Structure 1
Amino acid sequence: MKRITNSEHTDRRGAAKDAKAALVEAFRAAKEAAEPTREAKQAERRMIAEAREQRRAEREQAKLEEQNRVAAEAAARDAAVAAAARAEIDARELADKTRIERVLQDDAARKAERDRRYANRKARQA
């Protein structure tokens, strides 16, 4: 059989108010019951965040060390290239100097030979 109720507006407002109060009380009870696990979870999350931060710092440190190593290798390569270029320039200058000396010696030898021939010719004529 159907139940017929004549709920007035105030009755419905009162029932809604009681229902809301019951929900708030249930929420508070659940919150208090979950307090120990919430603190444990927060501590666990804090530890995880600290470990994550430590790993990030280690990665950044490793990346910085790698960049420094690469920069040092590049500097060493540049120094080696500069030294090789300087050695090549020095060798080229030395070769130029020896060639000039050789040309001067050859020229002096030719002049000495020419002077000797000239002296022999004059000696024969005299």
Structure 2
Amino acid sequence: MSAYKDPSFQERTALARQARQKALDQLKAKPPADEAVLAERNAARIAREQAKADERAAIRAARDLAKAEEKARAIEAAKASVPPPGPSEAEQRAARDARYAARKQRKSR
């Protein structure tokens, strides 16, 4: 049995050249792409991209709607937690005057 012999630089370059040539020959032997098939693939790609864009837009719209509803609920909760405003200054004055008049009327009897 003979020992393994490392290939020389020239042998390695020749093998690389042959591999490149074989790949080039295979590429040249490949039939050209049919225009109808390319157009169909392109249309399918555009349809997929449009469907994805529509889906993303629907998701974004749903997310925005959920945020708006959450914001509205938060505002309603804040409104519910705020006590109603008290009587105005004029109403307070009128109530005081009514009490004063009632007290004066009780004393005069």
Q: TM-score, normalised by structure 1?
A: 0.47
Name 2:62's counterpart in structure 1.
Answer: 62
1:29 corresponds in structure 2 to 29
Corresponding residue of 2:6: none
Counterparts of residues 73-92 of structure 1 (less than 5 Å): 73-75=73-75, 78=78, 85-86=84-85, 89-90=86-87
Closer, same or farther: CA 99–41 of 1 in aligned 2, 3 Å: same
Task: Describe the shift of the 1:14–1:106 C-alpha distance in structure 2 as closer, same or farther (beyond 3 A).
Answer: closer
Q: How many residues align?
A: 98
1:121 aligned residue? none
Cα-Cα RMSD: 4.2
Question: Cα 1:26–1:81, aligned 2, differ >3 Å: closer, same or farther?
Answer: same
Identify the residue that residue 50 of structure 2 maps to in structure 1. Answer: 50
Q: What SS does the corresponding residue of 1:48 show, helix, strand or coil?
A: helix
Q: Distance in 2 between matches of 1:101 and 1:19?
A: 110
Closer, same or farther: CA 19–70 of 1 in aligned 2, 3 Å = closer
Q: Which range moved further: 63-72 or 18-27? A: 63-72
Identity of counterpart residues, as a percentage?
15
Tell me which structure has the larger Cα radius of gyration: 1
Are positions 1:101 and 2:92 aligned together?
A: no
Cα drift, residue 64 of structure 1 = 2.1
Supply the distance in 1 between the matched residues of 2:77 and 2:91 (Cα, whole angstroms): 25
- Does residue 19 of the first structure (1) align with residue 19 of the second (2)? yes
CA distance in 2, matches of 1:66, 1:11: 69
Query: Which structure carries more helix by proportion?
Result: 1
1:18–1:103: structure 2 CA closer, same or farther, 3 Å change rule? same
Distance 2:27 2:42 in 1: 20
- In the alignment, the residues of structure 2 paired with residue 26 and residue 41 of structure 1 have an alpha-carbon distance, to the nearest angstrom, of 24
CA distance in 1, matches of 2:81, 2:18: 87
